[in-house]
Structure 1
Amino acid sequence: MTERYRSVPHATMAASYCQGTIRGTDPASFNSEDAASRLRKAMKGLGTDEHQIIRVLTEHNNAQRQEIKDKFKTCFGRDLIEDLKSELAGHFESLCLYLLMPARYFDAFCLKNAMKRLGTKESHLIDILVSRSNMEIQDIKTVYKELFKSDLEDDIKSEVSGDFQRVLVGLVQGGRSEEQAVDDEAAKADMREVYNGGEGLLFSTDEDVFNKVLVTRSIPHLRKVFELYKEYASKDIEGAIIGEMSGDTQKAFLAIVHYVKDPLKFFAKCLFDSMDGAGTDDERLMQLVVSHSEVDLQDVSEVYQKEYKATLVEHIKKDTSGDYRKLLLQLTQGGGTNGVKESS
């Protein structure tokens, strides 16, 4: 059962409790030395036992994988990451390595990865920055600075511009209100300000108003603002954003709205979009599966099936292949101790 929705007020959905697909080995029976030995055996000598690597990685949660990684070096004087790099390739290698990164390290890595290639992966940035708590954002910035010797905010400013840049910079501050009580009069005032900054203007849109309200207000407050907006205006808030904005700015504001309204539905759409159309965005798919496997992936999968009339497993089978697909399926269905067999 996830701690994110339970312990982070702005992500809470009406007392719903979510659970991931990877829960790890029972602490009473967890043996990091045994797991490290299994990995060493899987990579020693001629050939590689990919099946065993998949089992070990999916039988254990992230905290246990960190212990296994340390024990591997202690027992064998070898670096597990380097051994996996020498034995594996392609998306399967990347996914294995991602599973061995601590959570906020992985977030920082994904943000950097989204900006370091030719052409920034805007959706990858949005997925993370829209959905992390204030505390998680602060931790990400600290880890990012340690890993890459640069500030996350500065790197974002160097890669994107305009109103989209301002949305991301606002999110990177990690300053969203976490107040759970809703002041109806304050919500009405924000609703009118958003309306007057968008539909209420004849020739332009005041993106600053949208930015201030959508980036800084608490989740319960925003839900009330959106409810009031629909009653007051000719469109709902999504329709207003679509009508008033375009490009990445529109995508970012819509992502905030969708996340606020229903986080599980938001993540299901992100997963669907990663596999929709021509070609799979494998980096985005891996980013989402790894990030949510211990948090809420079981619940996201259930919403996915309702929304898209097919299971997440079915779409992964269709859009991926080989050991990469097997590992993704184990993560999606539940690995090792959850009793789910590998799917081919």
Structure 2
Amino acid sequence: MTDYLPEPTVRPAPGFNASEDGVALRTAMKGFGTDEQAIIDILTHRSNEQRQEIAKFFTAEYGRNLMEDLESELSGKFEDLIMALMLPPADYLAKELNRAMDGLGTDEHTLVEILCTKNNKEIQEIVDAYERLFDRPLAEHMCSETSGDFRRLLTLIVTGVRNDGSVDPGKAREQAEQLHASGELKVGTDEEVFNRILSHESHQQLRLIFTEYKNVTGRSIEQALESEMSGELLEAMLAIVECVQSPAAYFAKRLHWAMEGMGTRDRTLIRIIVSRSEIDLGTIKHEYERLYDKTLESAVKDETSGDYKHALVALIGGP
């Protein structure tokens, strides 16, 4: 794989002025009716840090909570999207994890998408936010909602065991052979070895291991996992493998999944577009078009409507 060059679609606005934006937002929400377009124009073209500055100005100037005002003026999926934009990134993802585990049943897809795609620093920020917001450790809540090897893998990730940045080319072949011995060469699979290597090693090291795996066995690591694993554990391991090789391809496929078939999985659509907009949504957009021969923007336009659609398209950054 070539070096991954993340291209954001949302960057800090040049010449940013929090008070000007704050006044404009207050004007957009005062009196009869709401000027949704003004809200979209401001909030989708500012970085999250700049949005936090606007919120601080809003409180200092008007003695009001900007998020609460927006919430009372907006509704539906458009409101969900704007709320997602206004929360600090780690707080937003912590809330999404909590929602995935709250109530009856657990949304394992969301746990995998958020936790298996992050580096240690990002995981730590989410873990800290989770405990601050919900007064409960993320690992503990997750352990009560998941089980087996899937639980063990997620727990390793959440406890931050990954050796980010460390690379040992000499060890990669040996680790590839360990994976081979624990999977295809064994009756039954030793998931613990897969869990340990996939959760501990840096993405750079895993890339080397996967290349060596192909050299040693003649099969890709994905083929090996698909023949040895199943269910959410397989989904989690494939997510790690894909993010090692191309995060953009992983998220492009998730976006496609969110929009295919009857009905749209709006929470997933919002979460990926908001949380990746300042990281690599530009790269994801190119990958989406390569994989599906259709622009992400046109796919989103087909699936959404109104202010919700306009705000999503603004975040994607047009064609």
Fold-level similarity (TM above 0.5): yes
The letter for the 1-side match of 2:181 is N
Question: Cα gap change, 1:21/1:179 in structure 2, threshold over 3 Å: closer, same or farther?
Answer: closer
Alignment of 1:156 with 2:136, yes or no, is no
Match of 1:176 among 155, 162, 167: 162
Say whether residues 1:90 and 2:76 are aligned partners.
Answer: yes
Partner Cα separation in structure 2 for residue 269 and residue 171 of structure 1? 22
Counterpart residue type for residue 159 of structure 1: E
**How much does 1:133 deviate?**
1.5
Shift of 1:40: 0.9
How far apart are the structure 1 equivalents of 2:30 and 2:165?
54
Q: Output the CA distance in 1 between the equivalents of 2:224 and 2:291.
A: 23
Q: Given residue 133 of structure 1, which amino acid in structure 2 is its aligned partner? A: N
Q: 1:279 is matched with which residue: 260, 263, 283?
A: 263
Match of 1:323 in 2: 307
Residue 59 of structure 1: how far off its partner (Å): 2.2
CA distance in 2, matches of 1:71, 1:193: 56
* 2:196 is equivalent to residue 212 of structure 1: yes
1:25 matches 2:13:
yes
Equivalent residue, structure 1, for 2:207? 223
Aligned residues: 319
**Which residue in the other structure is 1:196 paired with?**
181
Structure 2 equivalent of residue 102 of structure 1: 88
Counterpart code for 2:88: P
- The answer as to whether partners of 1:182 and 1:220 remain within 8 angstroms in 2 is no
Asked if residue 119 in structure 1 is aligned to residue 72 in structure 2, the reply is no
Output one character per residue of 1:89-134: Cα deviation in whole Å (capped at 9) or x when no partner: 1111011011011111112112112111432221111111112221
Alignment of 1:43-82 (within 5 A): 43-82=29-68
2:283 aligned with 1:299: yes
TM-score for both structures, normalised by structure 1:
0.89
CA drift of 1:311 comes to 0.8
8 Å contact 1:114–1:121 — kept in the other structure?
yes
**Structure 2 stretches lacking a partner, 5+ long:** none
State how far apart, in whole Å, the 1-side matches of 2:53 and 2:204 are. 38
Amino acid at match of 1:199: E
8 Å Cα contact 2:182-2:189 kept in structure 1: yes
Partner of 1:269: 253
Contact 2:153 2:199 in 1 (8 A): yes
Partner of 1:34 in structure 2? 20
For residues 86 and 135 of structure 2, the distance between their equivalents in structure 1, rounded to whole angstroms, comes to 22
C-alpha deviation, 1:279, in angstroms: 2.0
Change (3 A) 1:278 1:294: same
CA distance, structure 2, for counterparts of residue 181 and residue 248 of structure 1: 28
Divergent runs of 4+, >6 A: none
CA contact (8 A) 1:264 1:300 kept: yes
1:230-241 to structure 2, matched below 5 A, reads: 230-241=214-225
| SS of residue paired to 1:21 | coil
Deviation, 1:244, is 0.9
CA contact (8 A) 1:229 1:236 kept: yes
* Residue in structure 2 matched with residue 7 of structure 1 by the alignment: none
TM-score when scaled to structure 2?
0.96
Which amino acid in the other structure matches residue 38 of structure 2? Q
What secondary structure sits across from 1:59 in the alignment? coil
In 2, are the aligned partners of 1:24 and 1:58 still within 8 Å (CA)?
Answer: no
- Residues 169 and 208 in structure 2, CA contact (< 8 A), matched pair in contact too: no
Contact 1:91–1:324 (8 Å) recurs in 2: yes
Runs of 5+ in structure 1 lacking a partner?
1-12, 335-339
Give the conservation status (yes or no) of the 8 Å contact 2:12–2:46. yes
Q: CA RMSD in A?
A: 1.5
- Measure how far apart 1:318 and its partner are: 1.2
- Distance in 2 of aligned mates of 1:330 and 1:304: 17
Q: What residue number does 1:337 align with?
A: none
Q: Shift of residue 24 of structure 1?
A: 2.6
